[in-house]
Structure 1
Amino acid sequence: MANGSFSRPHSFNQFLKQWMSRHWQSVTVALLGVLIPLQAFLILALVIWRHQGGLQWDIAILNGVHGMASPQLDAFAKVLTNFGTAWGVFPAVGLIALSLLFYRRWRSLTYVLITTIGCGMINTSAKAFLHRDRPSLWEHSSIHGFSFPSGHAMSSMVLVVALTVLAWKTRWRGLAIGLGSLFVTAIGWTRLYLGVHYPSDILAGWMLTLAWAISVSLIVRPNFQPPNLLEINALENQEESVPADELIPD
């Protein structure tokens, strides 16, 4: 071929260089968004498997958060924590899905559905497998179920990551990251303040969800836009109109 960039690589090193030059962004995303968070979750899960109670730093952070307790903060935390599921995340996911359905954004809709539904299934399975009891350092509202990883942390994170992925190629990316980070942190704080989760539950939920949502995005590619058929035809017509002698290299 005339263009040397499309020549067949003569060695593995040459192939690897060509492949990395085309896919380095995906490799970076897979490393930072999937491999490292997943490894962090697995380390936490292994530690929790061996030590079911709160870790030393878990207890220290919980006591520090509980030290700021007041009746006003109690009421605020109880209201805010509901936005991590029924009052916030669930309605938001529903609106996003309906909007994508209306605009026929099938890839994006598939991504949102797989990511959010899968996140709930993963959380249920992880809790059943690791069966970590909730903290009992002080009296809190009656909440059933196991503690690790935090469902509120996972649901808030999956919403933010999904929105960030969908907005990645738009001007709203920075806003999604900024406001999303505040939202995820606020929901995590409420779970600690109310005494229903250890910090390691929150951190594990964040890491597991990040790895899951990013890995699904690499497979589904929600922002992929196939070439327009008219553009393809125009390019083909343009190539056909070029004189044959111009297509032959010197």
Structure 2
Amino acid sequence: MAIQKQYLFWLVLLLFVFLLLSYIYHIEKVVYYDKLLLQKIYQLSGTFIDLFFIFITHLGSKTFTYPMLGMLAIIYLLKRHYVLVFCLAVNLFGVRELNWLLKTWFERSRPDLEAVVRASYYSFPSGHAMNSTAFYGFLAYIVWRRFKKNSIWFAAFLLVLLIGLSRIYLGVHYPIDVAAGISAGAAWTILIIVIYEAAVGREMNEACEH
């Protein structure tokens, strides 16, 4: 399976960023500024802003992405896009499992704050940031393939950024957790895109042969 150069470049870069963040997040000086930035954002909390970020963080949760995946699966199954449905499922379920494994490996504790929402398990990397990057990133790729508008990527990036910011604002993640989640989620998305394009290319070649 040949990987296009631009995919390989971004994959390597994103993995490097994640590995760098996973190396520095426990360094004393980095921890200080990580906590400082968290506190600055967390202190902005207010009733209306709380409601906004609770809604935004919900967009990155499984209670929202699972039903969305189900609807997309039905739509694309009716159109007989079986490879796409498979990649959509592997993308979301796979990234969630990967995030769990990474959290288990690094075992970083949650911020010691009175969080606005409940959050369980470890903190690094952020599951909401990682999972939403993969889910909305691959969704943006599907839409972009049809319309070829760069604004689609910008909208997806903005949404992921807001979801990541919501996790800091609500007091359940450090900024580095979010940055690591986005970089790992983006790397995973690229891998799924490579698999999808390889599978679609194989299907097209087989169709031409017949």
Query: 1:28 aligned to 2:6?
Result: yes
Question: Is the Cα contact below 8 Å between 1:65 and 1:192 reproduced in 2?
Answer: yes
- TM-score when normalising by structure 1: 0.73
1:54 deviates by 6.8
Distance 1:155 1:173, change over 3 A: farther
Which one of 61, 64, 78 corresponds to residue 40 of structure 2? 64
Query: Could you tell me which amino acid in structure 2 is paired with residue 39 of structure 1?
Result: F
1:31 deviates by 0.7
Superposition pairs for residues 40-189 of structure 1, below 5 Å? Answer: 40-48=17-25, 50-51=26-27, 55-136=31-112, 138-140=113-115, 141-171=117-147, 173-189=149-165
Query: Could you tell me which amino acid in structure 2 is paired with residue 155 of structure 1?
Result: N
Could you list the per-position Cα deviations for residues 82-102 of structure 1 after superposition, in whole angstroms to 9, with x for gaps in the alignment? Answer: 121144322222222222222
Give the distance between the partners of 2:206 and 2:120, measured in 1 at CA: 52
Give the distance between the partners of 1:112 and 1:87, measured in 2 at CA: 16
Query: Could you tell me which amino acid in structure 2 is paired with residue 139 of structure 1?
Result: E
Query: Could you tell me which amino acid in structure 2 is paired with residue 78 of structure 1?
Result: I
Pick the structure with greater CA Rg: 1
Question: Is the Cα contact below 8 Å between 1:82 and 1:88 reproduced in 2?
Answer: yes
1:68 deviates by 2.0
Distance 1:115 1:52, change over 3 A: farther
Q: Secondary structure at the match of 1:170?
A: helix
Provide the residue aligned with 1:10 in structure 2.
Answer: none
Provide the residue aligned with 2:188 in structure 1.
Answer: 212
Q: Identity of counterpart residues, as a percentage? A: 25
Distance 1:168 1:227, change over 3 A: farther
Give the distance between the partners of 1:97 and 1:173, measured in 2 at CA: 23
* Gapped regions of structure 1 (runs ≥ 5): 1-22, 234-250
Query: Could you tell me which amino acid in structure 2 is paired with residue 119 of structure 1?
Result: V
Query: Could you tell me which amino acid in structure 2 is paired with residue 36 of structure 1?
Result: L
Give the distance between the partners of 1:91 and 1:173, measured in 2 at CA: 26
Give the distance between the partners of 2:78 and 2:50, measured in 1 at CA: 40
Could you list the per-position Cα deviations for residues 86-140 of structure 1 after superposition, in whole angstroms to 9, with x for gaps in the alignment? Answer: 443222222222222221112212221221111011001001111100111x312
Q: Secondary structure at the match of 1:104?
A: coil
Give the distance between the partners of 1:190 and 1:166, measured in 2 at CA: 26
Question: Is the Cα contact below 8 Å between 2:21 and 2:176 reproduced in 1?
Answer: yes
- How many aligned residue pairs are there? 206
